[in-house]
Amino acid sequence: MTAAYPVEHGLHGDTSIVFLHGGNVASWMWEPQVAGLTDFHVLTPDLPGFGARAEERWTDLAGTAADVAATIAARARGGRAHVVGLSLGGVVATRLLANHPEVVQSALISGVPLAGVQGATRRLADLQLRFWDQRWFWRAQARAFGLPADARALFVEHGLSVSRATAERVLREVYDGGVPAGFDRFPGRVLAIAGGKESASVRDSFPDLLRALPTAQCRIAPGMHHAWSIEDAPLFTDVVRQWVSDGDVDARLEPVT
């Protein structure tokens, strides 16, 4: 169950990785990565307003980043961790790099629309909020994200647990976009990834990211939808392992052209 998924895994690992979940899920989404990275010390916190913390108020990205920074400082090896974030988790990671760089060794972010989301996509999101508490809506979302059949039921149940008020605050700030002030001063490694089949808003954000941080690397995960950490869990886990262990980018990821 969502509420029972632990925060800490691999207690004997010497290197800490913190995984930050997306906005339609919670920390349980990282179960395949936890299983594949048993030689690392892994942290999978629920963000405020999600999972075991669904009753808490989600305030804003800066407050959520501060919450994550406190978890890393208290639990990670030496008070620092490699940060992996997908969707909302990736956006939170950018605030973490900007506001709390002292707790971050490197970052891998995926599905992050730093340039913002406008036009028809944003109007569609506003429409979707009307159906937030409808089971059929979450089933449709699961199919749209390309989730495997065995992951859909939990996705639906968790989606129904997130309050519409939380969703409205999250979507408003995430869709407004923007590279956070201070992001350009982060001294560590950053890898940004877009699924080949996800919204163009993610790939379109790469120029903004590179202008702010020219040392960042940008790649495409070919054939993948937004939630590819679940869609192709072995690939995602391999990408994380290589990035954290050696600073290398998995050769199966494609350069941005």
Q: What is the pLDDT of residues 203-225, one digit of tens each?
A: 999 999 999 999 999 999 999 99
What would the pLDDT profile of 101-117 be if each residue is shown by its tens digit? 999 999 999 999 998 87
What are the chain's domains? Answer: 2-255 (3.40.50.1820)
Q: Which residue bears the tokens 């980043």?
A: 65
Where residue 122 falls among pLDDT bands split at 50, 70, 90? low
Terminal CA-to-CA distance of the chain, rounded, Å?
Answer: 42
What would the pLDDT profile of 143-202 be if each residue is shown by its tens digit? 776 667 777 777 777 776 777 788 888 888 888 888 999 999 999 999 999 999 998 899
Where residue 1 falls among pLDDT bands split at 50, 70, 90? very low
Residue 110, H or E segment: strand 104-110
Q: What is the mean pLDDT of the chain?
A: 89
Q: Which residue bears the tokens 């290197």?
A: 15
The pLDDT of residue 51 is 85
- From the list 209, 175, 173, 169, the residue with the least C-alpha distance to 192 is 209
- pTM comes to 0.88
